[in-house]
Structure 1
Amino acid sequence: MNETTGSEGTGRETTGSEPIAEYRRRLSAIADSTNRYRGRDKVFAAAKLILGVFIVLAAIWLVKYHAARLYLLLIPILLFVVLGVLHERILKRLRSDARLQSYYNQGIARIENRWAGIGETGERFLDPSHPYARDLDIFGPGSLFQLLCTARTSSGEQTLAAWLMAAAPVPEITARQEAVQELTPKVDLRERLVLAGEEVKKNVHPEALIAWAENAQPLNRASIRLTTLLLTALWLLSLVAWWRWDWMAAALAISLVNFGVSYKLRSRMNRAAEGVYGAQHDLALLAGILKIIEAEAATAPKIVQLQHRLGRSGVLASQAIVALSKRVEWLESNDNWFVKIFDPFIFYFPHCVMAIDAWRTRHGAAIREWLAVTGEVEALTSFALYSYEHPADTFPQMPEGGPYLDAEGLAHPLLARANAVPNDLKLDRNLQLLVISGPNMAGKSTFIRSIGINAVLALAGAPVCARRMTLSSLQVAASICILDSLQGGLSRFYAEISRLKQIDELSKADTPVLFLLDELLSGTNSYDRRIGTESFVRSLLGRGAIGLVTTHDLALAEIAERIGTTAANFHFEDTFEDGKLHFDYKLTPGIVQTTNALLLMRSIGLDV
């Protein structure tokens, strides 16, 4: 699709250079900041080294000559600690600058169509039985998910994947569109989300965290706390008695009792902490994102509603998660060797677990809701970023009734805008079927994929790669990339007719189907192929479905003529000049009149 300087309907009048210019301006500011803080980093590193050497040498001199004045080392040691704290702030700023630099460079790569291979692919969400996910490149390398996803939590990735795999009701689509339009220009908000929490390789794992939070078997904290506090006090008193009166036997006896009780409690405490242990960094990230969501000034009803859901439990979600994060941090201190030595006698680990369990009693029921809100905000933010970086794309209109799909200047969103050729399309009750014929490589498959993937975007609440688009609520279903299965014992033909059965069942539901069928039934003879295709398509049209069938077998072009006025033939064609094939990728009425198979074979040197 060629770059335009504006768009109709709900689009924004802007130029394609604005986002990339903004990103480069910010990258320049980040580079200046990085240079400044790198200079400070070197100064503080040198100062710490010099001060550290001085402390060591001073300690040696004082021990040798003035042992009574070792307290004088407190001043340089305190100074060393202060330098360490200030240096860590500088290092944190450098880490933030590096994260932002990577973020904006990735943004430029997306705008310049160098994004494939960068970011999450979402392959774990790919279900081979889904009616369009594989066919339309929703997940995997170079997929729609990889282009869109900027979520930092698993909840955000799961929400985005769910939105791309199932159409939302029209009121929800409208609400998402309003939210995305409000979020689109908020570059600073997205920057704050990038900087929330530390950059960690792992993400918040919502299933484990929710399972822990909703555990219906809380600890008997009162009895455990009373017992462990009493045993801890006895153990400390036994140490005093050993030191004062040489009661070693008493100290040993109490130590053995405490050790036995700790051992007895260990498995129970581990089960109680399962799902939250080791999640301190994850929780810090979640708390940072929630705090940003809560503080954002919003007017879109969808965002306001999400913010309201974060406060239903009577406390701000971010504050509650911060409290849990601190408790988990105490829990993880149990890995310290010093704590491990004394834990069996002072019950540090059980007390940490009980503090966490008390938090779960108060707030555990709200965790699912908080994670869901985080996921929705991250999915909306992913759409908003896509909208910001593709200002020529528009938000479709969603009328009641249908089936209806009307698009102008529609192109494939995964292709470079300068290379993608736009086409117009209109399907409704008067024209339900287009049969697209054309030679190899003419663009038939790409065209129906562009229709499907834009419909998926529209039905998820995102902008679409078109000058204008109007569509009703539809169920997208495709048979484009059908694979055989050696492990499952399925031939390609059987896998294809199984998909057709799935599409047939979907067409019986209330929501009309948008079907996209590429080279249907290519695994059988021409006669069976024509009869089978026509019968199947007639059945779909009879249930109110709309869609397209592509073919290079001209016998299938007869289907449109046999069905009548609700079907039409269109084609893509090519020209052969100077020994090369040329394609214009423009949809044209009528049946194709050219073939190119023999020309292609000869062009690569085959003697045919």
Structure 2
Amino acid sequence: TRAGEEVLARWLLGPAPPDEARERQQSAGELRERLDLREDLAVLGEDARAGVHAEALAGWAMAPPILDPGAARIAASALPVLLAASLAVWVWTGVGLPALVAGICQAVYGRRLRSRVLRVLREMEHPAHDLALLAAVLQRIEREPLSSARLRRLRAALDVAGQPPSRSIRALDRLAGFADSRDHLLVRALGPLVLYGTQVALAVEAWRRRSGAAAGRWIEAVGEIEALGSLAGYAYEHPADPFPELLDGGAVFQAEGLGHPLLPEAACVRNDVRLGTDLRLLIVSGSNMSGKSTLLRTVGVNAVLAMAGAPVRARRLRMTGAAVGATIRVTDSLQDGKSRFYAEITRLRQFVDLTPGPPPLLFLFDELLQGTNSHDRRLGAEAILRGLVRRGAIGLITTHDLALTEIAAVLAAPAANVHFEDHFEEGRMTFDYRLRPGVVEKSNALELMRSVGLEV
């Protein structure tokens, strides 16, 4: 459903505290083997996705009452009884004045409420239809025995006064059926005698008072269970990918056999990445196409998956919660009058504002400050990185400019150089995408230019 998409997007966009991410891991682990449940929710969710308008539904459910629940209920109950009694008196005694007075009073009262009654019934039509679609999803969740703490809380939050949500929704569905019956000939003939439309409208208002506040919880709970099901589906389809170990405390990212989850397993080259108290910065140099930017994406994507509660593409990953800040794809803007360099430093300023957290910052800078001259770039990069490390951040930067690799020596213990390299096999340039210690010792830019026919 749309609610499920929104919950999953929210989880991926914002890091969860370690305790919450651990709960999601536990719930996703439980749902991983519930293949029937996940498939049923996927099928039922298709209908709900097309038909359920979550914001409009929640707005209707929580809107102020249109009819006075006290006086209107008493009058709507008393007037038909009074009319029936006066009609009985007329039949038995022949005195018709009480029946005439009662009929006039009821007609005046019904006329007075008519516009509000019609509004209640009209505004109920779409929410009742939406909830009927949602009921199928909720009923499927009700039938499933759940054991993890988070799933049990979600299931318990669905009930209203001890009743499961599907029963509450069926009650509203019956009221919608009664409202549709107003066009039936018998109801048209006899309905005015009992204030039929008013009775149905008052019942709808009573349903909103009793169950309306739960409608938002139902939508949110369905969305969260679907999002957990998505994490579980990923875990089921990638059984070799473990759930990460989430730590409390200062910034740590320690990965063994880390790979990009979108690369096929046969083509995925894995590397170890370790950042923490002793080593806070890795400066990654290397030739073109050797894997530097892919390494940043690999770290970033796995960090996001970990903090969302999902498995990661690694043999093992231990990390603390972190805010991921990346400058992997920064562009200029003709419309805004901003150069690429200005766009980059504006984003860097945002990352500086995120430190020292919580949570700590995990930064991933691709070709840091490449839009300026080498001298200013060297000084600016050193100052920015020194400040981030001092504020407790950890991260990686990539560079072709070997002058930036000198920053590791200036920062000493908290920083280190690593690199990727290429080599030639039978006249062809090849890459092994293995991360090695130290600074790259050669460049392949000229060879690449020659390979595409440029005379250099």
TM-score range, shorter chain: 0.7 to 0.9
Q: How many angstroms apart in 2 are the aligned matches of 1:181 and 1:226?
A: 54
Q: 2:210 aligns with which of 345, 348, 362?
A: 362
Within a 5 Å distance, the mapping from 1:477-516 to structure 2 comes to: 477-516=325-364
Q: What is residue 143 of structure 1 aligned with on the other side?
A: none
Moved more, 159-168 or 426-435: 159-168
Identity of aligned residues (%): 48
Structure 1 pair 358–554 and aligned structure 2 pair: CA distance change class (3 A): same
- Corresponding residue to 1:304 among 136, 152, 157: 152
Q: TM-score, normalised by structure 2?
A: 0.84
Does the aligned pair in 2 maintain the 1:403–1:428 contact within 8 Å? yes
- Residue 372 of structure 2 corresponds to 524
CA distance in 2 between partners of 1:582 and 1:331 (Å): 73
1:174 aligns with 2:22: yes
1:506 positional shift: 0.5
Determine the structure 2 residue equivalent to 1:571: 419
Q: CA deviation at 1:277?
A: 3.5
Match of 2:230 among 375, 382, 392: 382
Matched, 1:206 2:58: no
Counterpart CA distance in 2 for 1:470 and 1:607 is: 49
1:176/1:491 Cα in 2 relative to 1: closer, same or farther (>3 Å)?
same
Residue identity in the other structure for 1:165: L
Q: Secondary structure at the match of 2:358?
A: coil
> Which residue matches 2:441?
593
Paired position in structure 2 for 1:411: 259
- Residues 434, 321 of structure 1: alpha-carbon distance in 2 compared, 3 angstrom cutoff: same
Aligned residue type for 1:581:
M
Question: Aligned partners of 2:377, 2:434: CA distance in 1, in Å?
Answer: 27
Whole-Å Cα distance in 2 between the matches of residues 443 and 332 of structure 1?
64
Task: For residue 533 of structure 1, report the CA deviation from its aligned partner.
Answer: 1.0
Task: Give the AA of the match of 1:451.
Answer: V
Distance 1:583 1:487 in 2: 39
8 Å Cα contact 1:406/1:425 also seen in 2: yes
Deviation at 1:498, TM superposition (A): 1.3
Amino acid at match of 2:64: A
1:218 maps onto 2:63 in alignment: no
Q: Which residue of the partner structure matches residue 166 of structure 2?
A: 318
Deviations 1:470-519 (A, max 9, x none): 11122221111123333333322222111111100101323211111111
Quick check: 1:278 aligned with 2:126?
yes
1:174-225 per-residue CA deviation (whole Å, 9 max, x = no partner) reads 1111111111111111122234377366252222211111112332366498
Instruction: Name the SS for the 1:550 alignment partner.
Output: strand
Change (3 A) 1:329 1:523: farther
**SS in structure 2 opposite 1:477?**
strand
Q: Is the 8 A contact 1:273 1:353 kept in 2?
A: no
> After the TM superposition, which residues 348-359 of structure 1 pair with which residues of structure 2 at under 5 Å, given as runs?
353-359=201-207
> Which residue does 2:282 correspond to in 1?
434
Displacement after TM superposition at 1:410 (Å): 0.8
Partners of 1:437 and 1:550 within 8 A in 2: yes
Correspondent of 2:6 among 153, 158, 177: 158
CA distance in 2, matches of 1:328, 1:491: 58
Mapping for residues 35-50 of structure 1, pairs under 5 Å = none
Distance in 1 separating the partners of 2:446 and 2:181:
72
Q: Equivalent residue for 1:424? A: 272
* In 2, Cα distance between equivalents of 1:486 and 1:279: 45
Secondary structure of the corresponding residue to residue 50 of structure 2: coil
Q: Which digits, 9 at most, give the CA deviation of each residue in 1:48-92, with x for residues without a partner? A: xxxxxxxxxxxxxxxxxxxxxxxxxxxxxxxxxxxxxxxxxxxxx
Q: Which amino acid aligns with 2:422?
A: D
Given residue 381 of structure 1, which amino acid in structure 2 is its aligned partner? G
Instruction: Trace 1:18-417 onto structure 2 (pairs within 5 A).
Output: 153-196=1-44, 199=47, 202-220=50-68, 223=72, 226=76, 265-266=114-115, 269-270=118-119, 273-274=122-123, 277-311=125-159, 313-328=161-176, 353-417=201-265
TM-score of the superposed pair, with normalisation by structure 1: 0.64
Count residues in correspondence: 427
More strand by share: 2
Shift of 1:388: 0.1
Match of 1:58 in 2: none
Matched to 1:533, the amino acid is A
The 10-residue stretch of structure 1 (408-417 or 314-323) with the greater mean CA deviation from structure 2: 314-323
Cα drift, residue 329 of structure 1: 5.7
Q: Distance in 2 between matches of 1:261 and 1:606?
A: 87
Judge conservation of contact 1:572–1:592 (CA < 8 Å) in 2. Answer: yes
Q: Secondary structure at the match of 1:308?
A: helix
Moved more, 284-293 or 393-402: 284-293
CA distance in 1, matches of 2:180, 2:357: 52
CA contact (8 A) 1:198 1:284 kept: no
One-letter code of the match for 1:173? Answer: A
* Structure 1 residue identity aligned to 2:428: K
**Cα distance between partner residues in 2 of 1:292 and 1:483:** 47
Distance in 2 between the 1:203 and 1:531 partners? 57
* Unmatched tracts of structure 2, length 5 or more: 88-103
- The 8 Å contact of residues 290 and 420 in structure 2, kept in 1 or not, is answered as yes
2:294 aligns with one of 446, 464, 470: 446
**Aligned partner of 1:469 among 317, 338, 342:** 317
Distance in 2, Cα, partners of 1:292 & 1:311: 14
Q: Answer yes or no: is the 8 Å Cα contact 1:406–1:469 preserved in 2.
A: yes
1:111 aligned residue: none
How far did residue 524 of structure 1 move?
1.1
Letter in 1 for 2:170: V
Per-residue displacement from partner, 1:314-354 (whole Å, max 9, x unpaired)?
321222123234444665788x9x89xx79x9798776554
Alignment match of 1:536 (pick from 361, 372, 384) = 384
- Does the 8 Å CA contact 1:202/1:282 hold for their aligned counterparts? no
- Contact in 2 for aligned 1:218/1:361 (Cα 8 Å): no
Aligned equivalents of 1:349, 1:576: Cα separation in 2: 84
Question: Contact (CA 8 Å) 1:200, 1:281: kept in 2 or not?
Answer: no
Assess, with a 3 A threshold, how the Cα gap between structure 1 residues 437 and 327 changes in structure 2: closer, same or farther. Answer: farther
Residue 453 of structure 1: how far off its partner (Å): 1.0
Give the deviation of 1:599 after TM superposition. Answer: 1.9
Decide whether the 8 Å contact of 2:285 with 2:399 is kept in 1.
Answer: yes
Structure-1 separation of matches of 2:443 and 2:178:
72
Aligned 8 A contact 2:28 2:232 in 1? yes
**Offset of residue 392 of structure 1:** 0.7
Instruction: Deviation per CA, 1:11-36: give whole Å up to 9, x if none.
Output: xxxxxxxxxxxxxxxxxxxxxxxxxx
SS in 1 for 2:6: helix
Instruction: State the Cα distance separating 1:272 from its structure 2 match.
Output: 7.3
Structure 2 CA distance for partners of 1:600 and 1:287, relative to 1, 3 Å: same
| SS state at 1:278 partner | helix
Letter in 2 for 1:590: G
Distance in 2 between residues matched to 1:593 and 1:484, nearest whole Å: 32
Asked whether the equivalents of residues 411 and 423 of structure 1 are also in contact (C-alpha less than 8 Å), the reply is yes
Counterpart in the other structure of 1:460: 308
